[in-house]
Chain A
Amino acid sequence: MAKTGTDVVKRGMAQMQKGGVIMDVVTPEQAKIAEAAGACAVMALERVPADIRAAGGVARMADPTIIEAVMKAVSIPVMAKCRIGHIVEARILEALGVDYIDESEVLTPADDKFHINKREFTVPFVCGARDLGEALRRIAEGASMIRTKGEAGTGNIIEAVKHLRTLQGQIRKVQNMSEDELVAEAKNLGAPYELLLEVHRTGRLPVVNFAAGGVATPADAALMMQLGADGVFVGSGIFKSENPEKFARAIVQATTHYQDYELLAELSKGLGTPMKGIDVATLREEERLAVRGW
Chain B
Amino acid sequence: MTEHHGQAQTDDSRASALKIGVLAVQGAFQEHARKLETLGADAVLVKRKQHLEGLDGLIIPGGESTSIGRLMREYDLVEPIRGLVGEGMPVFGTCAGMIVLANRIQGGEQPHLAVMDVEVNRNSFGRQRDSFETDLDIPAIGSPPFPAVFIRAPHITQMGEGVEVLATYDGRIVGVRQGHRLALSFHPELSEDNRLHQYFLDLVRNPRT
Where the two chains meet, the residues of A that have a C-beta atom closer than 8 Å to any C-beta of B are 1-6, 8-9, 12-13, 15-20, 35-41, 75-77, 94, 97-100, 122-124, 249, 252-253, 256-257, 259-260
Contacts and interface: CB of A to CB of B under 8 A. Distances in A.
Interface residues of B, number: 40
| CB-based closest 10 A-B pairs | A38-B70, A99-B128, A2-B132, A40-B64, A2-B134, A19-B26, A38-B67, A9-B131, A20-B26, A15-B28
7 contacts: A5-B129, A9-B151, A15-B190, A16-B96, A20-B64, A40-B26, A77-B128
B79 interface: no
Nearest to A99: B128
B202 interface: no
B149 A9 contact: yes
- Secondary structure dominating the interface of A: loop
Contacts of B134: 1-3
Nearest to B62: A16
Given A15-B62, A17-B64, 4 more contacts: A4-B131, A9-B133, A19-B24, A76-B66
Contacts of A256: 24-26, 47, 71
A94 B130 CA distance: 11
B66 A13 contact: no
A78 to B, nearest CB: 8
Given A77-B152, A99-B127, A16 B95 contact: yes
Given A20-B63, A37-B70, A13 B128 contact: yes
Interface in B108-135: 109, 122-123, 127-135
Given A18-B28, A123-B129, A257-B47, A8 B71 contact: no
A252 B190 contact: no
Contacts of A36: 70
Given A75-B107, A77-B128, A100-B128, A38 B71 contact: yes
